[in-house]
Chain A
Amino acid sequence: MPVYALKPNYKGERMDRVENFGGNQLVYFGWDEHRMFCAAKAFPLPPSTPFAAVMENVLPEAFGQHPEFSQINWDTAEWLLNNEPFKPQMNATLESQGIDHKSLVRFKTPELKGYAGAGV
């Protein structure tokens, strides 16, 4: 049952429909096993954003404070898009490679074990 309500066919208002974000969509980015950042971070981005712009602007803004960020070898980084293995296409837009509203993009950096090797 989608809800237990007093009246039949009660529908809730979806608060986070993509239409509510003024032309943007939400995308979450997370760096696996780097707990310096307590959680993945949310960004409102136009669906037409090329992934190259994510690499250039969004990820440094989100994770650039980490001492290991500048050492990331992006060639060996492993990506997940909504829990599925994923290979970002730099020149393609978010939309055209399946990164839709409220998608979660995670990356793992196998060579980097976090501050003090502790997953921080």
Chain B
Amino acid sequence: MAAKKLNIKDKYRLLTRDLDWDFSYEDRKKAFPYEEFEGIKITDWDKWEDPFRLTMDSYWKYQAEKEKKLYAIFDAFSQNDGHLNVSDPRYVNALKLFLTGVSPLEYQAYQGFAQVGRQFSGVGARVACQMQSLDELRHVQTQVHAMSHYNKFFDGLQEFSHQHDRVWYLSVPRSFFTDARSAGPFEFMVAIGFSFEYVLTNLLFVPFMSGAAHNGDMATVTFGFSAQSDEARHMTLGLEVIKFMLEQHEDNLPIVQKWIDKWFWRGTRLLTIVSMMMDYMLPNKVMSWKEAWEVYFEEAGGALFKDLARYGITMPKYSEVIEKEKEHISHQAWWTFYTHGHATGFHTWIPSDEELDWLSEKYPDTFDKYYRPLWELAKEKEAKGERFYTTGLPQLCQTCQIPMLFTEMDNPNQNSMRDTLYKGERYHFCSDGCCDIFEEEPEKYVQAWLPVHQIFQGNCGGPDMGDILSEFYKINVGADNMDMKGSPDEERWNKWKGKA
């Protein structure tokens, strides 16, 4: 008599590996056309070790339970006017940046993992990627739901999806993911599965979720907890893919190393936004960006690369530049947003005196020397009634699409600028890292949709900047943008709190 219930091993076999079939009359290569063009050699997909033995039936069960708890808390948060418990209305601006810049990346991750979950010819890898794809879709949904309560009370959250595809600073995270998604399946896995999920995601989630906890935002904290078990699975998958490629064929090593170099550089550039959230946008600080970088990249990442050394993998190229930049980038980024605060979908402000002192303490070698004078100048201008909004539009990096705000680490007063000629046209870069990436695949990056250039080509409406902001970006001009001081957000908050 057959057992009523399958044991875990049999269930796992039937619901993953046995979902595959052989190709008896079709050419297997035609069924998986993306598998070879990147140059990665797989000799035996059966050697794939499933990083987590999860089957679809238990996946649904776990996720449904988590979802039930999560939405109960969202309801309670909403019914109890949870938004009134945040530390300071400035905090909500970090959420605006998260919703417009990061949540849509979860959606892009869902699309990307669905694609590789189709294109790998190994069934174990396919099933794992399909599950991650579903996780990512769930993450974008729960993030949108977590923040929908804030959207009822604060400006700047209402057009996140429209803005992600258009607004100048959002082209940075957007193009990061479209770069990964338009690569082959193996590069996508190194880009997102390994570099981003395994090594860099901690720098995004840990500070952000701790930041939410430190600032009274229970909705976001709860989302973070609910996503944590998924993230652990994603990290395991990212690492498994790397090890699998390296164990399959020695020719894969230089390709994998090249991708690691590229995606660490791209990832750290992307995290510039997070550095600024941590050091400037959280009213109650968790730790400085520099400290986070030391804990999560230098220590944790360093140990990982030591482990990968047995395969011949070395630390990502330009790690030594990144190590120096940890003292600078958050300050440079917030100054950029502050001075372009008329063109942002969230509010910006001059740090308070206590915050300036905290920054001096956390960055003893750089803050007073290079960055405090910027804020002294801003204060001086503000006192004269001339809050500083810079004129014109900045030069952008062709690869990371960030304004060319980074500086030379041997002379932090001077912007770092690189360029190269390709087919007679000049291309500009913020760094050697971004220039190298372009030079490896110029035909890819000549297609960059650079917001500043698109504006000047007349593809974003206008030419009046106010029209571009309100009609093309759908920024509610005068409410979503400009300084925190005097904003409708601030006015409403003071009214709720009974302040003058």
Contact = CB atoms under 8 A, between A and B. Distances in A.
A3 B374 contact: no
A67 B381 CA distance: 10
A38 B37 contact: no
Interface in B404-438: 404-405, 407, 412-415, 417, 419, 423, 425-428
A28 B418 CA distance: 13
B415 A102 contact: no
Given A38-B332, A120-B374, A3 B443 contact: yes
Contacts of B392: 41-43, 61-62
A5 B37 contact: yes
Interface residues of B, number: 59
B391 A62 contact: yes
Contacts of A38: 332, 335-336, 339-340, 390, 394, 403, 405
B363 interface: no
Centre residue among B39, B392, B403 by max chain A CB count within 10 A: B392
B456 A44 contact: yes
Interface string B30-63: 0001100111000000000000000000000000
Contact of A30 (B184, B415, B454): B415
A36 B377 contact: yes
Contacts of B417: 30, 40, 104
A10 B403 CA distance: 29
A114 B40 CA distance: 52
Centre residue among A5, A24, A115 by max chain B CB count within 10 A: A5
Interface in A1-26: 1-6, 10-17, 20-22, 24, 26
B243 to A, nearest CB: 22
B468 to A, nearest CB: 14
B426 A39 contact: no
A35 interface: yes
Secondary structure at the B interface, as helix, strand, loop or mixed, is: mixed
Given A38-B336, A39-B403, A115-B373, A15 B446 contact: yes
Contacts of B449: 15
Contact of B388 (A15, A65, A114): A65
Given A2-B442, A101-B426, A118-B373, A42 B447 contact: no
A4 B183 CA distance: 8
A116 B377 CA distance: 9
A71 interface: no
Nearest to B255: A4
Contact of A22 (B38, B376, B457): B457
Interface in A103-118: 103-104, 114-116, 118
Given A83-B419, A115-B373, A32 B414 contact: yes
A78 interface: no
Interface of A: 1-6, 10-17, 20-22, 24, 26, 28, 30, 32-33, 35-44, 61-62, 64-65, 67, 82-83, 100-104, 114-116, 118-120
